[in-house]
Amino acid sequence: MTKIWLLFLLIFYHAFPSKGISSISTRPRTVNVGALMSFNSTVGRVAKVAIQAAVDDVNSDATILNGTELKILMLDTKLSTGFLGIVDSLRLMENDTVAIIGPQYSVMAHVISHIANEMQVPLLSFAATDPTLTSLQFPYFVRTTQSDLYQMTAVAEIVDHFQWRDVIAIYIDDDHGRNGVSVLGDKLAEKRGKISHKATLNPGNITREEINSALVKIALMQSRVIVLHIYPSFGLDVLNVARSLNMMGSGYVWIATDWLSTLLDSNPSLFTTQSINDIQGLITLRMYTPESEIKRKFSSSWNKLSKEKDPVEGPFPLNTFGFYAYDTVWVLASALDAFFRSGGTLSFSNDSSLNMLRGGSFELDSMRVFLDGEKLLKRILEVNRSGLTGEMMFGQDGNLVHSSYEVINVIGSGIRRIGYWSETSGLHTGESPNHSISGDGLYGVIWPGQTIQTPRGWVFSNNGKPLRIGVPLRISYREFVSRTEGTEMFGGYCIDVFTAALSLLPYPVPYKFFSFGDGKTNPPNAKLLNKINIGELDAVVGDITITTNRTKIVDFTQPYIESGLVVVAPIRKMKSSAWAFLRPFTPMMWFVTGMFFLVVGAVVWILERRLNDEFRGPARRQFVTIIWFSFSTLFFSHREKTVSTLGRLVLIIWLFVVLILNSSYIASLTSILTVEQLSSSVKGIESLATSDERIGFLSGSFAENYLTEELNIHRSRLVPLNSPSEYEKALKDGAANGGVTAIIDERAYMELFLATRCEYGIVGQEFTKMGWGFAFPRDSPLAIDMSTAILKLSENGDLERIHDKWLTRSACSSEGAKQGIDRLELKSFWGLFLLSGIACFVALLCYVARMVYRFSRHSNTNSQGSSHSARLRSFFTFVNEREEEDKHMSKRKRTEKGSSGRVAHHEQLDASTLQNYTPG
């Protein structure tokens, strides 16, 4: 009704647009500022004194406003959050008010912000923390305190830190409570948490009966993590009723928003009264204000200030909102100073159309619009100064930057800071929010019930409803899940594992099994799991495979058995033959190996024949030598010696290759001749997927979708089967007679199937890695506890004993069906052959280079004019010569050349002698 009245007033106000304008000089002697708060409230009483002290300090400071005096009009809104606040704000508009400090309550701020928008008067609130107030809807609202957006982010991180998922929110059902809890829900959702129940309280008049009714409902719920977002005047009443209902004992977690820290700061006497028992073990938040000299001075003078400004109530303690109220005045003063320096004027517009409303004590015609309000608003948002609360600067969203909180634990007769939260660092311990020294998140907490053990955060509800557990009613593989005929009792491997895990939980879990299926065909697991998603079941127990798509709708426990998909096909024993010695290598491997024997023999012959007589002789002898030498290296029995360096290098590398080939061949042949070999026309999933053969699968399992979507096998090739007997018949008939070539199913099933059917076997490798788990609703805390219990079963051996009880296999399937030993392929040895080939190539390259060099030195000057073919024939002749002959011929040529030179010299001497001879 209040908002309807306000809307009517504003529409009427704008229906007549004629205005008159008046202005005040650039530097007026006084500036009118309004303030709205509840003088008798915990926050308002402190804020009133802090604002008055700030106004006095501003007016006495000659460095700001240049002599302009702040004149503040403070109005008491009582505890009202509606109509009286509207009336007071309209009264302030009659006095050419340039800004309003307040209001204190978020609900009132929503309403007055509409008036501030119309009057263009900035609204600076030091206590309205509703995060929606900084939206585009309220451009003239300026929050000079920390927003609940950050406080609820801190609460969500505390919940996530202790690995809780469900919380219960208790709050006042007004704008402040609803919007704050809404943000909490969003922040919890980001961390996979949620608010499982919202308990709303009447904002007008909260009675003890109403509180008791809300808490009784909460006590019957599973979650034990309670967030209390309320006003200080009602918070202790809720906690007192909770203690009377035994909801402040072990197992409960209470997180109070900053209302509790404000109350404790404002009423230290609470620690000496009976009320202290109502808040033991609680966690609360307090807006962080850094220590500074001006803060210490202000705090030390507070008792004197509160006594002077409020002689009736004072002195009284200071709280955080008092610091923010003081800084709000200085933010406004700084903005006004910048406003005047930039040439701003206090111009107001009168609306003459409101004259018709003249009469009575409330004169609407005197309301005036602040024409330069937008300029002043801009200056306020540009303020950057340090105050009692630290840095006062606004971000792009209109909130103060660097928001941070202290995390406090109420212990005994006092409080203990257990950590900090800040926008930049999150939860941490350290000297301040921006100086983290530990990654632990928080120090240890003393929880309700005086325990240091972190509460689990949930219990089973006491409403008498057992856990509804769905069990698939299968007609095959009853060793896993089966129902006792004529009863609703179930047995089997999966059921025993579930009951054994439940017995390890530290709390009782009532449950009841519900069968799913008609008993004639295997029910589809996807439909069974969907019943959890729609709330018909609380869990599913059975042979349920954990897949990616299923984890999107439910939460699974730790897998209690591994069971990937395998291929099962008919197998036969391989008979030995006279040619079994050829089986270790593939045909390509035999061919490449033989070729390398010949190549290496030829390379060594080329490198050795000039130096080694064993590699020389007639062509037939040399060919036999190449063959003999190369293949004799297989047994390291070659009799020819290598004398060249390059030949020895090639031979050493080749002998290493031969050693590896020998070892591999012997190992593979030994396995072939000593291990029973099984063969099948199907080699594994790869060959099966690329063929056009028919494939069987278990009806209702996930295998059908996997084969079609992941392996692109056409559905027409897939044959659904319901039982092991159908498996056996389909495999025996074969694809040619309407059966199947192979079965694809999970290993756990197939091991049971093969236990008594040795004519079939698993071929190839397991091509998926999956497991079975118990399914619970998303974010169920029971799934986590059951996972821990399953791990304990695995560690103490109980899981293996349950497995042996139900799934003991016969000797026929104890090792699974062995496919024939894989033959050694070329791809396993190509590195060795490459190494040997490189050695041969490099050795030949070096040999040819050396021969060319030596031939060029061997050639005499007369051969330079010969033809190219003649030189080529001469080169091959030179290469074919033995090394010693080459050296002897070179030496003989050098000797003959020297002898002919000496003969010519002697003849020349004889001729000279004869010419000079004179007969005597």
Position 580 confidence tier, pLDDT thresholds 50, 70, 90: low
Q: Are 86 and 225 found together in one domain?
A: no
Give which of 646, 610, 608 is closest to 626, Cα–Cα.
608
Q: How many CB atoms lie within 10 A of CB 24?
A: 15
Q: Are 215 and 241 found together in one domain?
A: yes
Q: Taking CA 800 as the corner, what is the angle to CA 794 and CA 801, rounded to the nearest 5 degrees?
A: 120
17 touches 353 (CB < 8 A): yes
Q: Are 414 and 270 found together in one domain?
A: yes
Residue 639 pLDDT exceeds 70: no
Q: What is the mean pLDDT of residues 543-547?
A: 92
Please state, in angstroms and rounded to a whole number, the distance separating the CA atoms of residues 563 and 749. 8
Position 812 confidence tier, pLDDT thresholds 50, 70, 90: low
* Residue 879 DSSP one-character state: H
585 Cβ contact partners less than 8 Å away, ≥ 6 residues apart: 593, 665, 668, 823, 824
According to the model, what pLDDT value does residue 544 have? 93
* Residue 522 DSSP one-character state: P
744 touches 703 (CB < 8 A): yes
455 touches 251 (CB < 8 A): yes
Does residue 860 fall inside a structural domain? no
Q: Are 272 and 418 found together in one domain?
A: yes
* Residue 613 DSSP one-character state: G
Please, which residues bridge with residue 33 across strands?
72, 99
CA count, 13 A, side-chain hemisphere, 783: 21
CA 504 to chain CA mean position, Å? 30
Least reliable range by pLDDT among 87-96, 272-281, 782-791: 87-96
Residue 25 pLDDT exceeds 70: no
- For the stretch 870-895, pLDDT in tens is 667 766 666 666 665 455 445 444 55
Does residue 584 or residue 222 have the better pLDDT? 222
User: Which of 655, 674, 693 is the last residue in one of the domains?
Assistant: 674
Give which of 260, 268, 267 is closest to 286, Cα–Cα.
260
Q: What is the mean pLDDT of residues 624-636?
A: 71
Please state, in angstroms and rounded to a whole number, the distance separating the CA atoms of residues 854 and 839. 23
Least reliable range by pLDDT among 254-263, 480-489, 504-513, 616-625: 616-625
According to the model, what pLDDT value does residue 295 have? 95
Q: What is the mean pLDDT of residues 674-696?
A: 76
Q: Are 156 and 281 found together in one domain?
A: yes
Please state, in angstroms and rounded to a whole number, the distance separating the CA atoms of residues 406 and 866. 102
- Give the chain's mean pLDDT: 82
Please state, in angstroms and rounded to a whole number, the distance separating the CA atoms of residues 153 and 180. 10
Q: Are 80 and 209 found together in one domain?
A: no
What CATH number does residue 762 fall under?
A: 3.40.190.10
Does residue 817 fall inside a structural domain? no
Does residue 23 fall inside a structural domain? no
Please state, in angstroms and rounded to a whole number, the distance separating the CA atoms of residues 368 and 20. 9
Give which of 633, 638, 558 is closest to 600, Cα–Cα.
633
What CATH number does residue 178 fall under?
A: 3.40.50.2300
According to the model, what pLDDT value does residue 917 have? 42
Does residue 599 or residue 560 have the better pLDDT? 560
Residue 592 pLDDT exceeds 80: yes
According to the model, what pLDDT value does residue 415 have? 92
Give the C-alpha distances (Å, rounded to integers) separating 707 from 531, 551, 690: 25, 19, 12
User: Which of 757, 789, 807 is the last residue in one of the domains?
Assistant: 807
According to the model, what pLDDT value does residue 468 have? 92
According to the model, what pLDDT value does residue 730 have? 92
- For the stretch 317-348, pLDDT in tens is 999 999 999 999 999 999 999 999 988 888 87
Q: Are 326 and 371 found together in one domain?
A: yes
Total tally of structural domains belonging to the chain: 5
Q: What is the mean pLDDT of residues 71-94?
A: 74
CA count, 13 A, side-chain hemisphere, 163: 8
Please, which residues bridge with residue 572 across strands?
679
Least reliable range by pLDDT among 170-184, 830-844, 847-861: 847-861
- For the stretch 350-408, pLDDT in tens is 655 445 445 545 455 556 788 888 999 999 999 999 999 999 999 888 889 989 999 99
Least reliable range by pLDDT among 25-34, 44-53, 138-147, 242-251: 25-34
Residue 12 pLDDT exceeds 80: no
According to the model, what pLDDT value does residue 178 have? 94
CA count, 13 A, side-chain hemisphere, 419: 23
Q: How many CB atoms lie within 10 A of CB 878?
A: 17
Does residue 515 fall inside a structural domain? yes
Give which of 276, 213, 209 is closest to 248, Cα–Cα.
276
Q: What is the mean pLDDT of residues 130-149?
A: 92
Does residue 4 fall inside a structural domain? no
Residue type, 578: A
Residue 816 pLDDT exceeds 60: no
Q: Are 296 and 339 found together in one domain?
A: no
Does residue 866 fall inside a structural domain? no
> 3-state class of 420 per DSSP?
strand
Q: How many CB atoms lie within 10 A of CB 701?
A: 21
Q: Taking CA 453 as the corner, what is the angle to CA 447 and CA 459, rounded to the nearest 5 degrees?
A: 80
Q: Are 608 and 755 found together in one domain?
A: no
Give the C-alpha distances (Å, rounded to integers) separating 729 from 72, 474, 733, 736, 763: 96, 19, 6, 13, 19
Q: Where are the alpha helices (DSSP H) in 169-318?
A: 175-190, 208-219, 232-244, 259-266, 293-300, 302-309
Please state, in angstroms and rounded to a whole number, the distance separating the CA atoms of residues 31 and 27. 9
Q: Taking CA 425 as the corner, what is the angle to CA 421 and CA 430, rounded to the nearest 5 degrees?
A: 70
Does residue 148 or residue 838 have the better pLDDT? 148
Please state, in angstroms and rounded to a whole number, the distance separating the CA atoms of residues 152 and 207. 27
Structural domain of 131: 30-141+318-393
User: What does the chain come to in residues?
Assistant: 920
Residue 762 pLDDT exceeds 70: yes
CA 685 to chain CA mean position, Å? 33
The strand order across the sheet containing 69-76 reads 69-76, 30-37, 99-101, 123-125, 141-143
Tokens at 503, concatenated = 């017995």
Q: How many CB atoms lie within 10 A of CB 207?
A: 11
According to the model, what pLDDT value does residue 912 have? 46
746 Cβ contact partners less than 8 Å away, ≥ 6 residues apart: 545, 563, 564, 565, 566, 698, 701, 703, 770
Q: Taking CA 335 as the corner, what is the angle to CA 334 and CA 337, rounded to the nearest 5 degrees?
A: 65
Q: Where are the alpha helices (DSSP H) in 131-174?
A: 148-161
What is the DSSP track for 545-604? B--HHHHTTSEE---SEE--EEEEEE-EEPPP-TTGGGTTB-HHHHHHHHHHHHHHHHHH
According to the model, what pLDDT value does residue 6 have? 46
Does residue 499 fall inside a structural domain? yes
According to the model, what pLDDT value does residue 830 have? 81
Least reliable range by pLDDT among 497-511, 663-677, 770-784: 663-677
Residue 451 pLDDT exceeds 90: yes
Q: What percent of the chain has pLDDT over 70?
A: 80
Give which of 408, 434, 410, 411 is closest to 422, Cα–Cα.
434
Q: Taking CA 770 as the corner, what is the angle to CA 766 and CA 774, rounded to the nearest 5 degrees?
A: 150
User: Which of 769, 792, 821 is the last residue in one of the domains?
Assistant: 769
Residue 441 pLDDT exceeds 90: no
Position 536 confidence tier, pLDDT thresholds 50, 70, 90: very high
Does residue 887 or residue 227 have the better pLDDT? 227
Please state, in angstroms and rounded to a whole number, the distance separating the CA atoms of residues 846 and 625. 23
Q: Are 755 and 783 found together in one domain?
A: no
Residue 2 pLDDT exceeds 50: no
Q: What is the mean pLDDT of residues 835-852?
A: 82
Residue 74 φ/ψ region, left for φ over 0, alpha for ψ in the -120 to 50 degree band, beta for the rest: beta
Tokens at 563, concatenated = 């069971």
Please state, in angstroms and rounded to a whole number, the distance separating the CA atoms of residues 50 and 388. 11
Position 530 confidence tier, pLDDT thresholds 50, 70, 90: very high
Please state, in angstroms and rounded to a whole number, the distance separating the CA atoms of residues 155 and 161. 10
Residue 482 pLDDT exceeds 70: yes
End-to-end CA distance of the chain: give it in Å, rounded.
167
Does residue 5 or residue 153 have the better pLDDT? 153
> 3-state class of 660 per DSSP?
helix
Residue 718 pLDDT exceeds 50: yes
Least reliable range by pLDDT among 352-361, 566-575, 820-829: 352-361
Taking every pair of C-alpha atoms in the chain, what is the biggest distance, in angstroms?
Answer: 177
Please state, in angstroms and rounded to a whole number, the distance separating the CA atoms of residues 433 and 427. 9
Tokens at 713, concatenated = 């096998």
Angle formed by the axes of helices 175-190 and 148-161, nearest 10°: 40
User: Omega before 315 cis (within 30°)?
Assistant: yes
Position 464 confidence tier, pLDDT thresholds 50, 70, 90: low
Q: What is the mean pLDDT of residues 3-23?
A: 41
Give which of 653, 619, 613, 615 is closest to 633, Cα–Cα.
653
Does residue 603 or residue 120 have the better pLDDT? 120
* Residue 755 DSSP one-character state: T
Does residue 693 fall inside a structural domain? yes
Q: Taking CA 812 as the corner, what is the angle to CA 807 and CA 818, rounded to the nearest 5 degrees?
A: 110
Position 26 confidence tier, pLDDT thresholds 50, 70, 90: low
Tokens at 602, concatenated = 């030829």
387 Cβ contact partners less than 8 Å away, ≥ 6 residues apart: 294, 323, 326, 327, 330, 331
Considering only CA atoms, give the Rg of the chain: 48
According to the model, what pLDDT value does residue 638 have? 65
According to the model, what pLDDT value does residue 521 have? 83
Q: Taking CA 670 as the corner, what is the angle to CA 665 and CA 672, rounded to the nearest 5 degrees?
A: 95
Q: Are 712 and 733 found together in one domain?
A: yes
Residue type, 772: W
Tokens at 748, concatenated = 């756990």
Give the C-alpha distances (Å, rounded to integers) separating 49 from 316, 321, 792: 10, 11, 62
Task: Please name the residue that has the structure tokens 């009799």.
Answer: 639
541 touches 509 (CB < 8 A): no
According to the model, what pLDDT value does residue 818 have? 44
According to the model, what pLDDT value does residue 815 have? 42
- For the stretch 142-171, pLDDT in tens is 999 999 999 999 999 999 999 898 999 999
- For the stretch 196-219, pLDDT in tens is 999 999 887 789 999 999 999 999
* Residue 819 DSSP one-character state: B
Q: Are 115 and 35 found together in one domain?
A: yes
